[in-house]
Structure 1
């Protein structure tokens, strides 16, 4: 073997070792970023109510990923109006036969959490008037009273738009296909006409 061969072999081994170390380092860094992203997605938020400042989380109605209408440990679900929750679960059992799951994006909310969402909407849309098309006040929101749910994923909202009335579950606003409330009369008469958005709903004018 030429004298230079061990040097080239050692050099190749060193480069392979460095590449492996860099790969492991990149994997570790990616793992940290993924972990941080997941933590941020489910992290509680801080209210900004002066002396009333506190952390808002699941107890106020915040919902993590993968929550369904059958999750009895989630306040956003179990604090819904019992009649609404019963109708949702009855419909969800039938929908499951079609491979559809009723995920919950939002359900019951505390007044503090509703106020937090409203402030976010004002910041996002630039005015209280525009925000009102998407988020109600704590005093008028059917989420705070437990009488509304936001259903996740398009297959579930599509299923409900077709079959929901048979269970008294109705879409209320044209601009929110995920927002459902209980209208028992819909079982016999169909869902009532939808409002273009919440600002046309007389309940929001209080």
Structure 2
């Protein structure tokens, strides 16, 4: 099940309360189960005195293409391909991925080892997490070196 690839995510939000260089956008556009999982993990983190900021969540196919183009402009095509998947392969476009900031937040989330449904997926993106209830029982899958497009 995927979210509608034509539905855009918020694209930005207020500054993250613990590190204003990041935003904390609403989980708008994420699949309903993923949105509920985000609300739950954010509440659990707060109870542990950890602030999770949703720096980037749902993207439309158009937003994903624009992100790729921005990376090409800023870092070159090879680097863009290292970090940004095509829309058809992006978990952000499908509505089940979030980029978490700051570092203390994503380190805490990674330490939960999928028990709450969130797993870090790539070695080169410590902030990128994907949600599945299957992770709660099976744990996180082996991380990939980078997104594979």
TM-score (norm 1): 0.60
Structure 2: 5+ residue stretches without partners: 1-7, 17-22
Contact 1:122/1:131 (<8 A) preserved: yes
The partner residue of 1:178 within 127, 133, 141 is 127
Shift of 1:164: 4.6
The DSSP-based 3-state class of the residue aligned with 1:157 is helix
Deviation digits for residues 1-53 of structure 1 (CA, Å, limit 9, x no counterpart): xxxxxxxxxxxxxxxxxxxxxxxxxxxxxxxxxxxxxxxxxxxxxxxxxxxxx
The partner residue of 2:35 within 85, 88, 107 is 85
Structure 1: 5+ residue stretches without partners: 1-58
Question: Quick check: which has more Rg, 1 or 2?
Answer: 1
Q: Does 1:110 align with 2:49?
A: no
Contact 2:9/2:57 (<8 A) preserved: no
Shift of 1:117: 0.6
Contact 1:60/1:112 (<8 A) preserved: no
Deviation digits for residues 103-145 of structure 1 (CA, Å, limit 9, x no counterpart): 1110001222111110011122222x33111011122211111
> How many residues are paired up?
135
TM-score (norm 2): 0.81
Q: Does 1:196 align with 2:149?
A: no
Q: 1:78 to 1:164 in 2, by over 3 A?
A: farther
Deviation digits for residues 58-107 of structure 1 (CA, Å, limit 9, x no counterpart): x6531132354xx7xx4xx1211111121222122111112111111100
- Normalized per residue, the structure richer in strand is 2
User: For the aligned residues, what is the CA RMSD?
Assistant: 1.8
